[in-house]
Structure 1
Amino acid sequence: MLLGGAFWAPIANAQSSYELNSGWQCAPIAKVKDNGTAISSTAYSTTGWLPATVPGTVLTSLVANKQMPDPFYGMNNEQIPDIYKTGRDYYTYWFVKDFKQTATAGGQTYLNFRGVNYSFDVFLNGHKLNSTLNKGMFMRRSFNITKWLNAAGNNRLAVIVYPPDVVGNPNGGQGGDGTIAKNVGIQYTAGWDWIQPIRDRNTGIWDKVTIQTTGAVKINDPHVITLVPGVRQPEGAQAPAIIKLSAELQNATAAPVSGTLQYILDGKKVAKKVTLKANSKEEIKLDDYTLVNPKLWWPSGYGAQNLYKLKLQFVADGGKVSDEDNISVGVRQITTEWNARTESKQVNINGQKIFIKGGNWIISDEMLRFSDARYDAEVRFHRDMNLNLIRVWGGALIERPEFYEACDKYGMLVFQDMWGSGDCNGRWLDPMKLEDQWTRRKYPDDHNLYLESVKDQVKLLRNYPSLAMWCGGNEITPPEDILVALRDHIMPELDNTRWFIEYSNSENMSRNVNGGNGDGPYGIQPLSVFWNEKTFPFNSEVGSVGVSDYESLKRFIPKENMVAPVYDEQTGKNKVDPVWDYHKYIGYDWSIAKYGKVKDVEDFANKAQLVNYDQYRGLMEGFSSHMWDWYTGSIIWKTQNPWTAMRGQMYDYYLDPNACLYGLHNGSAPLHVMYNPTDGMVMVANNTFKPVTNMMLVAKMYDMAGKEKLITQVFADVTATTTKRYLSIKKDIDAFAKEDGAFVVLEILAEDKTQLSQNIYWVPNEKGEYSGLQKMDKSQLTVNAKAIKSGKIEVTLSNTNNAPVAFFNRVSVVDGGTKERILPAFYSDNYVSVLPGETKKVVVEYTPAKNAAAPQISISGWNMAEKVIAVN
């Protein structure tokens, strides 16, 4: 039934929900001799118990209470006892929470857990709520606690949480000895090549706990599907879209209940009369709704991220709302097709092909200290890199709803792996592993728990428009019985509109010329590799280095370990400080020395930023240069770290960006001019749905003194979603840069001479060295900053005529008192070079802290010492 007209509101809203996210206490079982029945009595004394962090882990609480050192700093992690040596009881803890809640007449009250690692029993007011042990890191649990609430409203919740059944030996292998994968849980906690072991294996109430009140009927796991037929454009009038909705209704009472399941969307109501049997659950499907002239949701760079608010309700006869759910709906449709030219899958959104520019994501924080604000900042950084996809790696977790909310907001498609990795699950022979490949291939031990967990998580996340792909696992399929159930039953029944990939580098996703698939390369590369050496046509992992700058290093490396790595060209090996090694540094090898002999660790970190920028700009440019020819997409390994690692990151754990981010921001721009450093071919990549016509392509060079030489300028155009080759400027560059190197500047200008794209390269001399950069005169850059509004500053960088290029300037917003960077902060661009006679503006956004000193702007560059200026 479809009703038109104005927004309709019911008589009353009986549903409410709130988090139990403060006031928790915890204690190890070694210190608690009583059982849960006694502990959950409000009269039971918890004197001497520690304040607990919930959501969080045991280690989160211990660190917060200074019972354990910060594992992110120096070698502190080595001081924390590992569960493999202590035994599971050491990290088995009781968690207690007192809360106020009374039962309401005719109402129901539920206690909901969204994630506990790994198993738990739960008690309320002297009653055990579960009949069997709750197991599995990724299973929501809900308990109707109506009859157990104390009449006076004072309640005591007690939860005993047990670590994973198998904790694994952290022997230095990927996932340690691999046995951590015997659980239905997170694998990297036993250590990986980018992280040290997490000592408690993330034991704890790691996700949200809520109290929910409803009427007799509760809405469970609604499912919204949007169908957008045809090929669409982001702007203009749209043909209709179809909205499909279903939900499970649960009648928790001993009597039948009649009422209406309905939703309101765009001012219209869709409704269906329902009668539910006593103590029953029933799946209800509403009639399809035709949404006229829909506002569509698009990935970042292609269009707006429009979201509709949908209010879903069950209204009992008499007009009282029993339960309701508010859902953000992004109207979009995902399809895939095989691209015969590239030999890989092509992703289409709303009928338009999308060139995938992605980043691999591990997890926000290794100790599971998740927050809406942190999720928002991290996903925003990915948007600022001009990426359009995040792959959530399978050795970690199925990400939380708050992560998906941020991806919906910023237009990040999500490639979501399920739990499993070839490293632990037996793809390779590995002497570090405890058990043989045949045994590991059957992990986890409990296949039924795995499948039930997948069903639960699919229901949790399937309404988010950003969720684009489900993947069976990282670099390996799950065991055959699990794979068949996923592919042939669970996904068709629960979420049949998304692409299901059997594993992350499946031949059904991507094939190379030899018929197989894979990933890489990894680590520092000559830029020619990205441009000229064909890799896998939909590459799920390709990446490079990622050391952050000096300010970042000071946050987690002790002063005595601030020692720059030394590369031996003859042996090809790096001499690395043990703390750097512990934090998983990988070598920059030959790349740093080209900028001159390293003076100290600060000089090393500064030069590393030049390499970072060049590597990631070159990576994405190389893939974009072969868009739809060699490639349908690439996903960088990796864009962030859940702790203070020194590889594969565009920003550090503290949310401070480095030059990798801005190299990607440049190289991934929707409209981008670039050149192949090997043959000098100038190209324009147009990653939009609109052709760009009657533009001027300009190529010029500057020497180290700032003298300009025009190479060429030519009118040009480029069609939508393609890369076009124009001309080679190699001979000009080779001649001009022979002695000291040079700056190569490429620009696209609109008819009114507005700059549509600019790309500034620094090229070496004929020996491959940046000798000229080492002899540059001081910058003559002038800098001004003005506040646009609270939390937003415009920084103006102006270079004078007849001056050298003001090269590679890092802008930072800092606290006016401490001079420390304000984090997180978001910059419209950074590591900016300003040509002679040119002015550029950088807009900075941040969240002002209460009672903080007035912000100031710090700026330093290759040929300019740091200075701090006031904000007008």
Structure 2
Amino acid sequence: MTRFRYLLFLLALASISPLAAQQRYELNSGWVAQPISKVTVTGAQLSQPGYALGGWQPAVVPGTVLTTQLTNKQVPDPFFGMNNERIPDIYKTGRDYYTYWFVKDFQEAPATGDGQVWLHLRGVNYSCEVYLNGQKLNKKTHHGMFLRQAYNITPYLAKSGRNRLAVVVYPPDPVGNPNGGQGGDGTIARNVSTQYTAGWDWIRPIRDRNTGIWDKVTIEKTRAINVKNPHVITRVPGVRLPKGPQAPATIQVTTELENPTAKPVAGVVQYTLGGQVVKQAVTVPARSTKQVSLPALTLQNPKLWWPSGYGPQNLYPSKVQFLTGGKTVSDEETMQVGVREIQHHWNSKTESMQVLVNGQKLFIKGGNWIISDAMLRFTKARYDAEIRFHRDMNLNLIRVWGGALVERPEFYEACDKYGMLVMQDFWMSGDANGRWVDPMKLEDQYTRRKYPNDHRLFVNSVADQLKLVRNYPSLAIWCGGNEITPPKDILAAMQDTLLPRLDGTRWFIPFSNSDSMSYNNLGGNGDGPYGIQPISTFWGHRTFPFNSEVGSVGVGDAESLERFLLPANMVPPRYLGPRTASSKGDTPTEQVDSVWTYHTYIGYEQYLLPYGAPKDIRDFGLKAQLVNYDQYRALMEGFSSHMWDWYTGSIIWKTQNPWTALRGQMYDYYLDPNACLYGLRTGSEPLHVMYNPVDSMVTLVNNGFEVKRDMMLVVDAYDMAGKKTPVTQVIVEINPSSSKRYLPINGLVRKLGQQQGMFLSLQLQDFDKKVISNNFYWLPDAKGEYSGLKGMGKASPRVTTRQVAAGKLEVTLSNPAGAPVAFFNRVALVNPTTQKRILPVFYSDNYVSVLPGGSQTVTLDYTPSPNVPTPVVSVEGWNVTKQLVPVAGK
């Protein structure tokens, strides 16, 4: 933009009258609650500001009945030990037990002139009646967990400015029998709500089925016209690169304008983006809502949004406004717009889809996401931390699983920020919705296939949630449900009407393992395998070409376990031996503490034994981390080595847990990462050197869009005493978005590692010897045992710290020449008083190994707390005694 045009732009903005006292604010504190059994008056009486509320308990809003009970210490923490069994389940108590009134007094003066005041409820589970100052706001009972509510409360505000909101919330109906099946007996799916609350194989039942005002309650103030549901579409034609000048992009904007007044209102609707303003004159009839399409904007040399690892996550601040008479702002909606375009192409070789962003194909490295917190305790800070962890794993996609919900705007804001594409499922699952014969289900497949009870509610909820999240650039794929399509009429409405009309830009998959996503010619369900696998399986066994669910183990270390287990339950599982041909399918291979079983432990089986049978819980936790690292590094390396040949993507089941489960997680519920995260981070590097354990080939993978040339491949072997054997040093290159096999080293590995195993160091370096990719393997002996590790000598690396900035540290581990490898060191930031880890902390790497004569620097990023003493750094490894090192100054 020229300086003259920019001056005109500023003058135009200056001539616009601001919206007087325009504001939005949340009603997120000061609520009180009471069970319906203790309330003897009507909603009209209860909502009168003068009605006394003596004896009512503080309530959590946004929240649920259970979070309110927990806050008032009426129930124990259901995530600890067996406490969940001490909380009455709604299936046994009846729905009235968890039916509650929630009441909030707030100050808001009556509107003046053409001012309007609106009440927004972003999520209530499941049904509710809403009262304000003695008036019922909803003529009919509201139903549906995902359907937003908006009420014009202008006529009902008290003259005194003292107002009372009262909401009675009823649980889902039916609540489902939590009989141990996936979704219990399945009847929870008769509702349009989350299915996991009746229990799954990774969680126990949520006792109140998350009944409550679970999402934000907001007051909004406008003038005559309310701007609603703006829709921004960005068109980015052609094949783009992140760097250099860009051809133009096109921005298309529509919005809804609501006029609740008795007179038509004339004015201008406009949006601003990239320093430009686009306007459209419009008249909105009385008591109506009008959709307006604005002229398209051509954005010159746009700053594009890219997924993590491919380019920057540029976002343009934007707003859509209505100006009464072209001068006075009546209302506005603000957004962050990411200019990008999502496409998909069929790969005829793999027989699966490829995802493209801005014309460039991406090999999908994804993680399945359940929900941030099983009791719906969502915070912006937690969302940010969890999505940052996914970025740090070098992933580029999160799939939001269909047994949960359409994720909240705050989740998508974090995905936009960190460059995570999202595949968003709707609320279906093959388990509850009838894909299989299941003796745990109350009703047959034919009946379950027709769930939910109210198809119109489902369709209306889909339309509403589309409008809620469709503007986020991270949202890439819609999915009809987990492992099953919705019923035909719902599917037709979504596929033929709602998505084309309300979005029209994204790929829609009928269900998560649909042949239209990944053609299944291997039999089975089209996803998996699940659970621990031999490392070679990930490299040598071909599975589904765009695998929506494939996963492994994920137990944390001893410090993670003791956060939710009693000392008596800190007992490591004991391997009992493999299943035999005569064994039943459920014959255990491990002896496991019953509380571990309750927290849905997945077995490590024989895979810890090569390191030596665990002696105690700390030993188990450490050896589990070795297996964790190896499993997830191999998983992503194996898939990446066959990109575009066998596979177009892989989505791990799963990367996180919304409660204290003992399976499939890169970090625990308390946001403490385990070695899964760092093994996956290594295996998912955008430019990566790796070792194929099947054929001993050193292989490169390049996920980027540019040829990588003039790199030195350096391969070295080390024995248990730290003696180095150079293997090769050669200049290499690799084309964009490809993998390349370089050289076999099977003879050397057999020779050096036969007796005790060995270490293998693979590095890509530039010509200044700067390391571009670093990968460090520990390989077993000829018998598959880690005999050398068992008797490995001690290493004593020097640990130094440096404070780079507030909340940012550098920790350097230096290993003397002639020493053994300082193997598998966990770096942690701890409270010096309690010796417990500070959480969350984000590490540039962890579980690092330091070569003799070498060093490794790990960056720590955290939020300092005034209530915690200056932290210290803890370093402890396989053959490294724990050190506590003070944090040095800058």
User: What is the TM-score when the length of structure 1 is the normalising length?
Assistant: 0.99
Spell out the pairing of 1:176-325 with structure 2 (5 A cutoff): 176-317=184-325, 319-325=327-333
CA contact (8 A) 2:397 2:420 kept: yes
The DSSP-based 3-state class of the residue aligned with 1:569 is coil
Q: Which stretch has the larger CA shift, 165-174 or 516-525?
A: 516-525
Question: Which residue of structure 2 lines up, in the alignment, with residue 710 of structure 1?
Answer: 726
**Hey, what's the Cα distance between the residues in 1 that align with 2:795 and 2:257?**
68
Partner amino acid for 1:217?
I
Instruction: Give the alignment partner of residue 433 of structure 1, picking from 441, 450, 457.
Output: 441
Partner amino acid for 2:111?
T
The DSSP-based 3-state class of the residue aligned with 2:9 is coil
Q: Which runs of 5+ in 1 are unaligned?
A: none
**Hey, what's the Cα distance between the residues in 2 that align with 1:786 and 1:96?**
51
Instruction: Give the alignment partner of residue 179 of structure 2, picking from 148, 156, 171.
Output: 171
Deviation at 1:103, TM superposition (A): 2.1
Does residue 57 of the first structure (1) align with residue 73 of the second (2)? no
Instruction: Give the alignment partner of residue 624 of structure 1, picking from 634, 637, 640.
Output: 640
**Hey, what's the Cα distance between the residues in 1 that align with 2:314 and 2:326?**
35
**Hey, what's the Cα distance between the residues in 2 that align with 1:853 and 1:603?**
30
Instruction: Give the alignment partner of residue 55 of structure 2, picking from 30, 48, 52.
Output: 48
Instruction: Give the alignment partner of residue 586 of structure 1, picking from 591, 599, 602.
Output: 602
The DSSP-based 3-state class of the residue aligned with 2:628 is helix
Deviation at 1:573, TM superposition (A): 1.1
Off by >4 Å, runs of 4+ in structure 1: 514-517
CA contact (8 A) 1:296 1:332 kept: yes
CA contact (8 A) 1:242 1:291 kept: yes
Question: Which residue of structure 2 lines up, in the alignment, with residue 401 of structure 1?
Answer: 409
Deviation at 1:598, TM superposition (A): 1.2
The DSSP-based 3-state class of the residue aligned with 2:518 is coil
Question: Which residue of structure 2 lines up, in the alignment, with residue 13 of structure 1?
Answer: 19
Spell out the pairing of 1:748-767 with structure 2 (5 A cutoff): 748-767=764-783
The aligned length equals 871
**Hey, what's the Cα distance between the residues in 1 that align with 2:88 and 2:525?**
41
Spell out the pairing of 1:414-813 with structure 2 (5 A cutoff): 414-514=422-522, 518-571=526-579, 573-813=589-829
Question: Which residue of structure 2 lines up, in the alignment, with residue 94 of structure 1?
Answer: 101
CA contact (8 A) 2:64 2:213 kept: yes
The DSSP-based 3-state class of the residue aligned with 1:165 is coil
**Hey, what's the Cα distance between the residues in 1 that align with 2:23 and 2:349?**
53
The DSSP-based 3-state class of the residue aligned with 2:548 is strand
Deviation at 1:661, TM superposition (A): 0.2
Deviation at 1:584, TM superposition (A): 0.4
CA contact (8 A) 1:506 1:517 kept: no
Identity of aligned residues (%): 63
CA contact (8 A) 1:567 1:575 kept: yes
Partner amino acid for 2:9?
A
Question: Which residue of structure 1 lines up, in the alignment, with residue 354 of structure 2?
Answer: 346
Partner amino acid for 2:310?
Y
CA contact (8 A) 2:268 2:326 kept: no
Spell out the pairing of 1:48-87 with structure 2 (5 A cutoff): 48-87=55-94
Does residue 33 of the first structure (1) align with residue 40 of the second (2)? yes
Deviation at 1:65, TM superposition (A): 1.0
Spell out the pairing of 1:816-855 with structure 2 (5 A cutoff): 816-855=832-871
CA contact (8 A) 1:694 1:751 kept: yes
Listed one character per residue, the Cα deviations across residues 451-492 of structure 1 (whole Å, up to 9, x for unaligned) are 000000000000000000000000000001111111111111
Partner amino acid for 1:772?
G
Spell out the pairing of 1:305-384 with structure 2 (5 A cutoff): 305-317=313-325, 319-384=327-392
Partner amino acid for 1:181?
A
**Hey, what's the Cα distance between the residues in 1 that align with 2:883 and 2:769?**
33
Listed one character per residue, the Cα deviations across residues 295-316 of structure 1 (whole Å, up to 9, x for unaligned) are 0000000000000000211010
**Hey, what's the Cα distance between the residues in 2 that align with 1:517 and 1:160?**
42
CA contact (8 A) 2:223 2:330 kept: yes
Deviation at 1:49, TM superposition (A): 1.0
Q: Which runs of 5+ in 2 are unaligned?
A: 580-587
The DSSP-based 3-state class of the residue aligned with 2:389 is helix
Partner amino acid for 2:69?
L
The DSSP-based 3-state class of the residue aligned with 2:68 is helix
Listed one character per residue, the Cα deviations across residues 50-98 of structure 1 (whole Å, up to 9, x for unaligned) are 1111101000110111100000100000000000000000000000000
Partner amino acid for 2:740?
K
**Hey, what's the Cα distance between the residues in 2 that align with 1:341 and 1:570?**
38
Deviation at 1:517, TM superposition (A): 6.1
CA contact (8 A) 1:531 1:625 kept: yes
Partner amino acid for 1:680?
S
The DSSP-based 3-state class of the residue aligned with 1:427 is coil
The DSSP-based 3-state class of the residue aligned with 2:403 is coil
**Hey, what's the Cα distance between the residues in 1 that align with 2:264 and 2:298?**
32
CA contact (8 A) 2:796 2:881 kept: no
CA contact (8 A) 1:93 1:160 kept: yes
Deviation at 1:690, TM superposition (A): 1.4
Quote the RMSD (CA, aligned, Å).
Answer: 1.1
User: What is the TM-score when the length of structure 2 is the normalising length?
Assistant: 0.97
**Hey, what's the Cα distance between the residues in 2 that align with 1:12 and 1:407?**
32
**Hey, what's the Cα distance between the residues in 2 that align with 1:588 and 1:351?**
42
The DSSP-based 3-state class of the residue aligned with 2:415 is helix
Partner amino acid for 2:439?
P
The DSSP-based 3-state class of the residue aligned with 1:733 is helix
CA contact (8 A) 2:522 2:543 kept: no
Deviation at 1:698, TM superposition (A): 1.3
Does residue 149 of the first structure (1) align with residue 157 of the second (2)? yes
Deviation at 1:512, TM superposition (A): 3.5
CA contact (8 A) 1:507 1:516 kept: no
Question: Which residue of structure 1 lines up, in the alignment, with residue 584 of structure 2?
Answer: none
CA contact (8 A) 2:522 2:544 kept: no
**Hey, what's the Cα distance between the residues in 1 that align with 2:868 and 2:634?**
40
Listed one character per residue, the Cα deviations across residues 490-510 of structure 1 (whole Å, up to 9, x for unaligned) are 111111100000000000001
CA contact (8 A) 1:102 1:152 kept: yes
The DSSP-based 3-state class of the residue aligned with 2:669 is coil
